[in-house]
Structure 1
């Protein structure tokens, strides 16, 4: 009997994948799966009415990306016609919609479908996922071999946890649930918070409201933007980017190089940290020119302990006559407004809660793995992951931007791509070997968590500051951030570490060897002597040499390591 390809080595079995979320992570996954894999089905369930995740949900006044737009793209998919240096949420949403249309990703996506529960079925080696159709109200079950949570870490906005929230009779808004029909002109407005959203909102609403009261509980480092202003590209500049790819690449490379050269600012006592603190203090004083504001708003903690917030006109707006700054938190809401911590009542027509997101990573629906363990319970106190992409005891479950991912310095899209590529290496093994299930070993997760904990003690992130990195606490546990730079993460995720995984097989683990025939022999168009060549063009055997080729070592002018730039040279 002649051999058949279905029994050859590395035969690709058909696999079923469910992805939760159609934001930047889910779209990247869908694109890369479609590009490299065959014999798979993918269903991406998105709870919102449109794709693009946080850029669909956030539409408050002034909402924009806080890094240059040309660097808020996938590495392989530039957009030459951004209208501004810092793109609006509307324009970024358009980028992801265009990306989805260009590559036909919508065929994999069901909008207005919410995941209510996921349960691992050990005997079958599959996930049972309960889905709710938000339009019809119908609840049904779907099944998959591999479940991927791409819901992101900024998708669970929360009201401030203070008494009387629902007693307030005025209009209550949240920055992540904005009512686009709200009328602010001539109103007395309260703005709670001074994080990234509040910093963008205040200068937008200040000119039109009667007055605005900004409640500031904690100081924050405000970083000048590139050129210290929002730049609108001229028609000529856009045409140059469209017609001259080298000019566009030059801008993208320059911005990314600056971002990737300043990680040492996050290390305690580094030269760049010390220089940055002096420089940013001077910059903030130069704009505030108010001793009280300077004393209250400029932090004593290190630069970067809280997320660095690019200035969008916020500091100058604080000095305007119709802006009242309360250097306290909100203790309670009243029917007519709210009370600050000292008991003073502030009467307000509208209150804007720029109070951010729940960044605990605890899922909003049950995810039940081995032995009936619910991830909601496992992650109640401290979320632990394997390299931000997997959880021990939860087979065939992978995550994008899970705990300890590189979301704290620079664009997150490069990290999303790196995590996706790593995940796809595991999916490739699953598809071409007779694997039943896989999950990281408990000791691997514990060792990674221990390494993260030790590293964080050297960083500024564990200092005494209230931060979204720590789920808005002053704790020294950092569930959000990667223990190193973005480039460090890209290198760490480049190769799969099979020894960190508990891999179970269906039958003999070498059954994937098949009938002794190579897949190449079943490809009638392939070169059966492909390994015969006239020079050695094979990949280098050492990581160092592979890294040097990938990073084009030797092609750039020498630079002063870790001291080249200040945070004022680039936005975060």
Structure 2
């Protein structure tokens, strides 16, 4: 009797994957699995009625991405017809809608479903998952070998901590839960917050409201986006991008090279930090001419300690309009008619808009039970994450956009792609090693990694004295929760997974994957059985440096002055 193919080396056993979230990360995982894997099943549970995550949920006036639109796409999936360099939420949502349609990803997704609980079954080597259909209330149960949490970090609105908000008699809106049925025309508005959402909302609503009071508790570094233009593209420009892929690629490359050239600005004491601080202060003072107001609005902390506001110049111009008043204070408490500020002054309004951001604690929204632990409880005490993907001691489970992801250090989507590749490498290892039962990040690896982050973060400007999303929260157990380096640094760190940081458990002989002595190539009737015979050595380089130089196309670009920005030093951004 002939040998069987399913007993050959690296046979791909069936693997069942469940992902929570159909935003940017969940769609990327679905695409990557579909592109490279066979003999698998994927189910994605999504609480919303459609894909898109952040760009499905955030739809406030003026809502837009703050990086060039052509670069807020997957690295492998360009979009030529963005209407403007800085795209609004509708176009970004449409991009991810179109992506899901193009690659037929929706059949994996169960919309309007929330995950209630997940529990690891050690005996069976699988996750048991309980979900609820938000439309019918029906509770269902599922299971999987691999569980991926792609729930994002901008999906749980943080309302103001000041008491009494429920007492306010008028409409209360959070920027992340915008109610489009509320008419702001001719109304008096209180806008709480001065971060990324607020600086987009105020310029959008100022022309239609009767009056707006904006509460600014802390200053922010502000500048227009460093893209080539922020206005709308002409029909001719859009058509040129459609007709000439090289023109579009040249724009994307130029934008990305610029975004990736700024990271040393985030490091204390660098020339680029000094250049940026001098330039941004100069640009802000051109808009804010009153020396006393400058003392309030121009920060005294390093650039990048708090998130820079690329569209902040519009906000600074808008607060000078006659129907806008700035309250340089926080809200002490809310009242039936408005609020009282920290300085004791009363303020009235018809509508309160809270642009107060999100809960970035990273504590899971549902129980994740494993081996006597609930990750919700664990992470309330201390985050045990690893490179945005790992969870200490938690079997067969990963995060995407989890703790220590470079969420504001440069281009973010390519970082999510790299995390997806990392997760897929473990799925591949699990699938092609049939004797493997489970795999988990070693607690010692998580501890050492977090110790490294804590030490290196001391060199970064966000460890300075400013209140920001990077700074320590009670459950973090370290000074910051973001990646302590550039996005290029992150890509290089994640490119070749460190399997030695993981514990692998087997139900039988760990070498069972060697199979019956035949290769998969011998079972491929279209493969070349002499594929290794060549006329030159085109194989994979054997050193990381050589591999990196090939990946980064070293030697193809004109030499540049390292870690300097001529545009900043000359005031031409």
**Band the TM-score falls in, shorter-chain normalisation:** over 0.9
Query: With structure 2 as the length reference, what TM-score do the two structures score?
Result: 0.97
Q: Residues 435-446 of structure 1 correspond to what in structure 2 (within 5 A)?
A: 435-446=436-447
Q: What per-residue deviation string (whole Å, max 9, x for no partner) do you get for residues 274-303 of structure 1?
A: 111111001011012223321111111100
- Describe how 1:368-383 pairs up with structure 2 within 5 A: 368-370=369-371, 372-383=372-383
Q: What's the offset of the Cα at 1:478? A: 4.5
Per the alignment, residue 127 of structure 2 pairs with: 127
Flag the 1:381–1:306 CA change in 2: closer, same or farther, 3 A.
farther
Matched, 1:111 2:111: yes
Determine if the alignment matches structure 1 residue 528 to structure 2 residue 529: yes
Contact 1:67 1:410 in 2 (8 A): no
Partner of 2:101: 101
Q: 2:138 aligns to what?
A: 138
CA distance, structure 1, for counterparts of residue 542 and residue 11 of structure 2: 27
Map of 2:70 onto structure 1: 70
Contact 1:191 1:354 in 2 (8 A): yes
> Which residue number corresponds to residue 542 of structure 2?
541
Q: Secondary structure at the match of 1:176?
A: helix
Output the CA distance in 1 between the equivalents of 2:4 and 2:569.
62
Distance (whole Å) between structure 1 residues aligned to residue 327 and residue 290 of structure 2: 14
1:137-536 pair list within 5 angstroms = 137-226=137-226, 230-311=230-311, 313-370=314-371, 372-433=372-433, 434-470=435-471, 477-536=478-537
Residues 223 and 568, structure 1, Cα contact 8 Å, conserved in 2: no
Per-residue CA distance 1:376-414 (angstroms, 9 max, x = gap) = 111113323121101112101110011001111222110
Q: Once the 2 structures are TM-superposed, how far is the Cα of residue 479 of structure 1 from its aligned partner?
A: 4.2
Shift of 1:472: 8.0
Deviation of 1:64 (Å): 0.1
Shift of 1:228: 8.8
Q: 1:73-123: per-residue Cα shift (whole Å, max 9, x none)?
A: 000000000001100011100000000000000110111000111111111
8 Å Cα contact 1:202/1:317 also seen in 2 = yes
CA–CA distance in 1 between the matches of 2:553 and 2:217? Answer: 46
- CA contact under 8 A between 2:463 and 2:480: conserved in structure 1? no
Distance 1:50-1:165 versus aligned 2 partners, 3 A rule: same
On the 8 A contact 2:175/2:353 being kept in 1, the answer is: yes
CA distance, structure 2, for counterparts of residue 114 and residue 479 of structure 1: 29
Q: Distance in 2 between matches of 1:568 and 1:55?
A: 36
Q: Is the 8 A contact 1:223 1:567 kept in 2?
A: no
Q: Secondary structure at the match of 2:177?
A: coil
CA distance in 2, matches of 1:323, 1:482: 38
**Cα displacement string for residues 143-169 of structure 1 (whole angstroms, at most 9, x for unaligned residues):** 000000001111111211121111111
Structure 1 pair 190–389 and aligned structure 2 pair: CA distance change class (3 A):
same
Write the deviation string for residues 275-334 of structure 1: whole angstroms up to 9, x where unpaired.
111110010110122233211111111000011111251010011111111111111110
Distance 1:140 1:568 in 2: 60
Q: What is the CA distance between 1:520 and its match in structure 2?
A: 0.8
For residue 176 of structure 1, report the CA deviation from its aligned partner: 0.1
Size of the aligned set, in residue pairs, is 569
1:165/1:567 Cα in 2 relative to 1: closer, same or farther (>3 Å)?
farther
Q: Provide the rounded CA distance (Å) in 2 between the counterparts of 1:381 and 1:83.
A: 46
* Residue in structure 1 matched with residue 561 of structure 2 by the alignment: 560
- Paired with 2:263 and 2:491, the residues of 1 have a C-alpha distance of 14
**Partner SS for 1:470:** coil
CA contact (8 A) 1:157 1:356 kept: yes
Q: For residues 489-510 of structure 1, what are the alpha-carbon distances to aligned partners after superposition, in whole Å with 9 as ceiling and x for unaligned?
A: 1111110211110111111100
Match of 2:508, SS?
coil
1:40–1:569 distance in 2 versus 1, CA, 3 Å? farther
* Equivalent pair of 1:51/1:97 in contact (CA under 8 Å): yes
Indicate the residue corresponding to 2:79 in structure 1: 79
CA separation in 2, counterparts of 1:436 and 1:227? 49
- Offset at 1:534? 1.4
Question: TM-score, normalised on structure 1?
Answer: 0.97
Report if aligned partners of 1:463, 1:476 keep a CA contact under 8 Å in 2.
Answer: no
Secondary structure of the equivalent of 1:222? Answer: coil
Q: Distance in 2 between matches of 1:295 and 1:110?
A: 52
Contact 2:62 / 2:204 at 8 angstroms: preserved in 1? Answer: yes
Change (3 A) 1:569 1:209: farther
Distance (Å, rounded) in 2 between the aligned partners of 1:316 and 1:568 = 24
CA distance in structure 2 between the aligned counterparts of 1:478 and 1:65, rounded to whole angstroms = 28
- CA-atom RMSD, angstroms? 1.7
1:509-537 per-residue CA deviation (whole Å, 9 max, x = no partner) reads: 00111111111111111111111111111
Structure 1: runs of 5+ lacking an equivalent: none
